[in-house]
Chain A
Amino acid sequence: MANGNKKFMYVNRRAPYGTIYALEGLEVVLIGAAFDQDVSMAFVDDGVYQLKKGQDTGATGMKNFSPAYRALGDYDVTKLYVEKESLDQRGLTADDLLDLTYEDEDDDYAEKPSVRIVSGEELAGILDEQDVIFNF
């Protein structure tokens, strides 16, 4: 294993269902969390639907995997950037998204929100800082 800490960004661009990219992308994030790197996720375009509350896949026969996003905080994946323009274009607001939180071990385990809504311009700056960017 290489030494050194890299900044890993997982960019989610697709709706949670319709293709398998979101599900298999999340699997990479959960496995990757074990590698002790600096991990963040971005949700843009239809990818913002991955974090929508109240997903019901019953009629499709597909597994509703949205509860798995709740585990991210426990895996120290605590930076989930959601692009504001993508929300706006789809008539969504922060209230439509899952209430994802993590316990900040540097702040007496205070519970803090993982979801951060950022502009496309801010997100571009964040992407620019990354060493490894995955697209799903």
Chain B
Amino acid sequence: MKFGILVNEGPYTHQASDTAFKFTEAALQKGHEIVRVFFYHDGVNNGTRLTTPPQDDRNIVNRWSELGAAHDLDLVVCVAAAQRRGIADADEAKRNGKDADNIAPGFRISGLGQLVEAGILADRLMIFGD
């Protein structure tokens, strides 16, 4: 089956990101396809490489990056939600006159059309959040 994944909450505050990650990992292990993981609302905070949790805790951001690299996942952060919350890649930072970027490896910033397209392409769009 082809799954689209929507992550609507930020890391650590809310379990939604953990659950989405575990679901994605399990689906891949079972041989399913993940057409895209889309990060929206505070979910965009899953895509900052500046995240530095205590050493005895899971690193939610690195975990997504590593799973993405292992399975060639399309990890997409919503541009409008990212701009509001200060998540930027080099292009976005330059365009908005910022002095730094913080996007984590394997993530890319794009528009909401990518979310709607994931809903069209996937057999099931799974939504993780409140």
**Partner-B contacts on A (CB < 8 A):** 1-2, 4, 6, 8, 20-21, 24, 27-28, 31-32, 34-35, 37, 132, 134-135
Contacts and interface: CB of A to CB of B under 8 A. Distances in A.
Given A1-B120, A6-B119, A35-B120, A27 B113 contact: no
A35 B116 contact: yes
Given A2-B121, A28-B40, A132-B119, 13 more contacts: A2-B117, A20-B84, A28-B112, A28-B115, A31-B111, A31-B116, A32-B115, A32-B116, A35-B116, A37-B120, A132-B125, A134-B119, A135-B129
Nearest to B129: A135
A110 B13 CA distance: 49
16 contacts: A1-B117, A1-B120, A2-B120, A2-B121, A8-B116, A28-B112, A28-B116, A31-B113, A34-B113, A35-B120, A37-B116, A37-B120, A134-B6, A134-B125, A134-B127, A135-B129
Given A24-B41, A28-B115, A6 B120 contact: yes
B109 interface: no
Nearest to A134: B127
Nearest to A32: B116
A13 B81 CA distance: 20
A24 B116 contact: no
A32 B115 CA distance: 9
Tell me whether chain A's interface is mostly helix, strand or loop, or mixed.
mixed
Contacts of A1: 117, 120
Interface residues of B, number: 18
A35 to B, nearest CB: 5
Given A31-B113, A132-B125, A24 B81 contact: yes
Contacts of B27: none
Interface in B23-55: 40-41
Contacts of B113: 31, 34-35
Contacts of A8: 116, 119
Contacts of A34: 113
Nearest to B116: A32
A35 B117 contact: yes
Nearest to B123: A131
A31 B119 contact: no
Contacts of A134: 6, 119, 125, 127
Contacts of B6: 134
